[in-house]
Amino acid sequence: MLIRIATRKSALALWQAEEVSRLLREAHDDSLRIELIKMTTTGDQLLQESLANQGGKGLFVKELERGLLKNNADIAVHSMKDVPIELPPTLHLPVILERANPRDAFVSNSYDNLDTLPNKAVVGTSSSRRACQIMAAYPHLEIKLLRGNVNTRLAKLDDGQYDAIILAVAGLQRLGFNDRIRSQLSTDISLPAIGQGAIGIECRENDVEVEKLIAPLNHTETNLCVTAERAISQSLEGGCQLPIAGYAQLSNNKLHLRSLVGMPDGSLLCRSEAQGPHTNPIAIGQRVAAELRRQGADEILSALL
């Protein structure tokens, strides 16, 4: 059998597609053939502005979804933090792989962590979620937009354009850049993006053969946690380009969910958390969102749209 995987052409996206290929081969016999369908997305092409000004991280997945809808591919592999809440009709995300480290990484050639950065030090990030939390905790720093793939961002740091940059730990480790991580940010300082560190597999609904093929790759615990996190965005009607953080953990059949919404300049942060039985992750996400809304999250998000 042949399975065609739609993927972006970036090094990180290709690593993720290759990892899914490896796991599929492990789960099935040698008769499985895999082909990568490499695509350039709008998000890869528009690198001069913030994603929030261009339509959000959904720009990284639309072309891949179009490939599924046109039957040019059988599955699409995504970073879950890039996947919009609303999927096109007839497509769904039945499989989420086991989550890697979800934390943010501090990368610098001169400093060990955020605490050691001097006044007016320039920190690079493309994420309004990271920006709002860093500015709230370290108002003496300056945030500067940083776009591009991981190699491009590291090159800009090495070129002296930034004193430090913030990237996802998982992405750096997957690409072999673990030695560039000077420290990992505590989730108390930088709560991760919804779905950060997790890889999802999207396919056409009712494609029974494909769903059966990819089912062994699903990690139940990660799926439950990411489902709870995504329920926050769905309840707040907020896209993945907005400053919304969400991180769920599962222990002893209890799911604990924390979330945050903030102004990009860090002037206002709303925080909420809840826990409950792992059997109803969406309800937990909705409870957290309701508390965020009570604190003024709607006003924050409306001001940024």
Q: Look at phi and psi of residue 291 and say left if phi exceeds 0, alpha if psi is from -120 to 50, else beta.
A: alpha
Which one of the listed residues 74, 82, 104, 163 is annotated catalytic?
82
Instruction: Give the Cα separation of 139 and 25 in Å (integer).
Output: 49
Q: Look at phi and psi of residue 148 and say left if phi exceeds 0, alpha if psi is from -120 to 50, else beta.
A: left
CA distance readout (Å), 16 to 22, 156, 201, 206: 10, 24, 10, 24
Q: What DSSP string runs through 3-17?
A: EEEEEESSHHHHHHH
> Which has the closest alpha carbon to 262: 133, 73, 91, 78?
133
> Kind and range of the H or E element at 273?
strand 269-277
Q: Does the annotation mark 82 as catalytic?
A: yes
- Sorted by sequence, the CB contacts under 8 Å of residue 159 that are 6+ apart come out as none
The single-letter code of the amino acid at 34 is I
Collapsing DSSP to helix, strand or coil, 169 comes out as: helix
- Give catalytic residues, as residue numbers: 82
